[in-house]
Structure 1
Amino acid sequence: MLSNCKYFVKDSLKWLPFFGWGMWLADFLFVQRDWTRDQRRIEATFSNIKRLETPVWIMSFAEGTRFTHQKLKESQIYAAQQGYSIMHNVLLPRTRGFVTCVNAFRGSHVQYVYDFTIAYCHRLKGNLEEFNIAPDMVRLHVRELGDEYDFHVNVKRFAVKDLPDNDEQLAAWLRKRYVEKDQFLSKLRHGWTKNLDERVWEEEM
């Protein structure tokens, strides 16, 4: 499906040499984080995908921005103000794009939501200090990282037909997935994949 992935990306990235041009040619979903301006473009793209029944994965990074300690602190403050769970390894997800995607593709040929949790562990600097700090995009593409990083990917699949119909409940469903991600990443932070039994973990969730 690599050739059929469509990403939500910041509009400014389309001017980035090489990467941005490739995103534009691949018909990625460039958004300005202004719903009144983005809505028409997103709905038109989704309409074409459904009309042509294009095989596609819509890739949405629901946190919306790169993880930093400062952004985590801001996210935690906002979560506390709104009465949401306080997380330590991920940011509170932005739900509008996700809710729009699910509602747009209900009853279509797009039948599943795949939930990816990707963890990065810097071998040299240890788990705690550099845990889940990803290498930058340039290094990821031009340099071999195998000797420096370990990676762990956890994937879950959910049928669109089984997701909540109500927008607020669907947003709450997404936030719950992020609480689970946070718990899972905490487990990796303190033990990486040692003693990590996925079957037991799934039962606990």
Structure 2
Amino acid sequence: MNMCQLAVCPWLKIISPSLDRKFNQQVERWFCTTLLAATSIWAPTKLVLTGDRSLLGESSSGSAATRNMGDLYSWLAPAIEHGCMIISNHQTYFDWIIIWIVSYCVRCHGYMKIILKAELKHVPVFGWGMQFLDFIFLKRKWAEDKQTFTDHMQRIVAHTDPAWLLIFPEGTVICEKRTAISDKYAEKMGLRRPEHTLLPRVSGSRVCLSQLRPRIEFLYDFTIAYEGLKAGDIPEDEYGLVSMYGKCVYPREIHIHIKRYPVADIPDDEEGFSKWMHHVFVEKDKRMAKYYELGHFPRDSAEDDSIPQDKPVMHITKPVAADNLPIEMMWMWAQFMAIMIPARYVYGAALSAIISAISAIW
């Protein structure tokens, strides 16, 4: 896929930026399909999705809610149509892959834009490819990252495609070193010390949302937890990418709780947004505590008294696999070869012409 991007993208950027964007959306679908295939073979886990009634609107109750509660398309309908911003806790480096796979489930995997740490762009194949896909790589230093944020967000909002922007406000996966830094900062600022997350970094999320406000209706809050872990475990130590894809050590279930917030209700000023984000992560930390207690996110008032008795949490379980993965992979490779075979002859002819011209000069 890197070869395909190298063969096509430089020319398309000059000839038609619009076609270049469409082409890279298709390559993004190929990347996600490849990741899904690899996961279904080496780490065939199961997705357990839960969501409160915010996903169906304030008026959702009775038969309408019952009818739609098992339909992920209903949960994410505004995001499918208009795009969205997703914030999530960061447990392992597999988090962004599983959220990308969630977007695959509603056929939006060609529109994902993920904010990742700068080191990942140097990973062979996937890191190189994600640079073409305009993923956002940050050094986690706001003075250096601010312009990167601004440039990428301007490109995203310049187009009508329903972009899905994923950001991890914690900035990195949870670990002992980062937990100690987070706890020290919480004590200094008089904030609640989280037990199962890190304190969120606010500046980047605020810039992203301020740019996306005219485009999107909702911000989606994902809380991720991995089966088989206890409170205090370091998820990345157990379920890192090498463990999952190299050693076939993977969780049998990955739990994701989804909640959505109307963008119009989220403060835009720096102080208000900071308070809002910290409140979201306090809720997230409490939700993680319940997960470690129950082995799943709470689903009704019997498991969590903050859940209304008449509005139990919605629930979907599905394997991480495509319905027609062999056909999808065959179609992907057919498209790939349809591009690479003509490109080979075009580049070969161009190279021959250049060599002939140089020979004639000499």
Give the structure-2-normalised TM-score: 0.50
2:299 alignment counterpart = 197
Taking the TM superposition and a 5 Å limit, the aligned residue runs for 1:118-157 are: 118-122=224-228, 127-128=230-231, 130=233, 132-133=235-236, 135-141=239-245, 144=248, 148-157=251-260
Amino acid paired to 2:290: K
Give, in whole Å, the separation in 2 of the partners of 1:177 and 1:129: 21
- Aligned mates of 1:179, 1:167 — CA distance in 2: 18
List structure 1 runs of 4+ shifted beyond 4 angstroms.
Answer: 131-134, 141-146, 198-202
1:166 pairs with 269, 272, 288, which one?
269
For 1:74 and 1:37, the matched residues in 2 are separated by: 21
The AA in structure 1 aligned to 2:259 is: K
- Distance, in Å, in 2 between the alignment partners of 1:202 and 1:115 is 21
Taking a change above 3 Å as real, the CA distance of residues 153 and 170 of structure 1, as seen in their structure-2 partners, is: same
Determine if contact 1:80/1:86 at 8 Å carries over to the other structure.
Answer: yes
Query: What amino acid is aligned across from residue 258 of structure 2 in structure 1?
Result: V
The answer (yes or no) to whether the contact 1:121–1:131 under 8 Å persists in 2 is no
Give 1:160 deviation, angstroms: 1.0
Q: Percent identity?
A: 28
1:11 aligns with 2:111: no
Query: 2:276 is matched by which residue type in structure 1?
Result: W
Q: Secondary structure at the match of 1:127?
A: coil
- Quick check: 136-145 or 51-60, which moved more? 136-145
Give TM-score, length-normalised by structure 1. 0.85
CA shift in 2, pair 1:168/1:129, >3 Å:
closer
Counterpart contact for 1:128–1:189, Cα < 8 Å: yes
Q: Where do 1:80-119 residues align within 5 Å?
A: 80-107=187-214, 109-119=215-225
Say whether residues 1:62 and 2:169 are aligned partners: yes
Distance 2:112 2:136 in 1: 10
The gaps in structure 1 that reach 5 residues or longer are none
How many pairs align? 199
Kept after mapping to 2: 8 A contact 1:72/1:91: yes
Q: Bigger radius of gyration, 1 or 2?
A: 2
With over 3 angstroms needed to count, the CA separation of the structure-2 counterparts of 1:38 and 1:127, relative to structure 1, is closer
Query: What SS is found at the alignment partner of 1:20?
Result: helix
**1:144-203 Cα deviation digits (max 9, x unpaired):** 556x44321100111111111211111111111111111111111122128x32467484
Per the TM alignment, residue 143 of structure 1 is displaced from its structure 2 partner at its CA by 5.9
Distance 1:131 1:45, change over 3 A: closer
1 or 2, which has the higher helix percentage? 2
Aligned 1:68-79 pairs, distance under 5 A: 68-79=175-186
**Cα offset for 1:68?**
0.9
**Root mean square deviation of aligned Cα:** 2.4
**Which digits, 9 at most, give the CA deviation of each residue in 1:118-165, with x for residues without a partner?**
00122xxx634647556112344456556x443211001111111112
The separation in 1 between residues aligned to 2:191 and 2:252, in whole angstroms, is 32
